[in-house]
Amino acid sequence: MSVFIEQQIIDAVRGLLLGRVNELLRELQFYIPVIEFGKSSDWSSVDPLVSLSGCEQSEKERLIKVDAYSLTITFNIPEFDDSQLYCYAYTAAVCKAFEENPTLGGVVSRAVVGGRKYIQPKKVHCGEDWGVVISLRVTVEGLKK
């Protein structure tokens, strides 16, 4: 197990995406490619980017020693007839999974979805990808030195 909380957070998010989010996608009435990391060559799966950075803390968070992070999950989806539907499906599944498990199995104090941004190609059928960026705020209590 990693000693760095940042790596633990990323690992927990990846585990949630591979586990519960994929379960939710499989429960849908229609086919949505599942999430797999490192395997996005044939579009039978999607490989989202999970990135983490520190974010500004409130005065209260500084006083009670709460670390705050900004986490984004980015899905790039090739342009298909159902690309927009895929964006909505990934967003719904991710949001539901975080609502069900806001502590990421006890790794964090709280992870909350703060926003979602849908990105569509500027011109139809020009080869650009669709995308969705899901933003979260993650807090961890008691890590200050």
> What residue segments make up the domains of the chain, in order of their start?
5-141
pLDDT per residue as tens digits for the range 45-99? 899 999 998 876 777 666 667 888 999 999 999 888 889 999 999 999 999 999 9
DSSP 2: -
Architecture of domain 5-141: 2-Layer Sandwich (3.30)
pLDDT per residue as tens digits for the range 114-139? 999 999 988 776 767 899 999 999 99
| DSSP codes, 29-66 | SS--PEE-TT--SSSSEE--EEEEEE-PPPHHHHHTTE
Measuring CA to CA, which residue among 48, 97, 50 is closest to residue 77? 48
Burial class (CB in 10 A: 0-12, 13-18, 19+), 73: buried
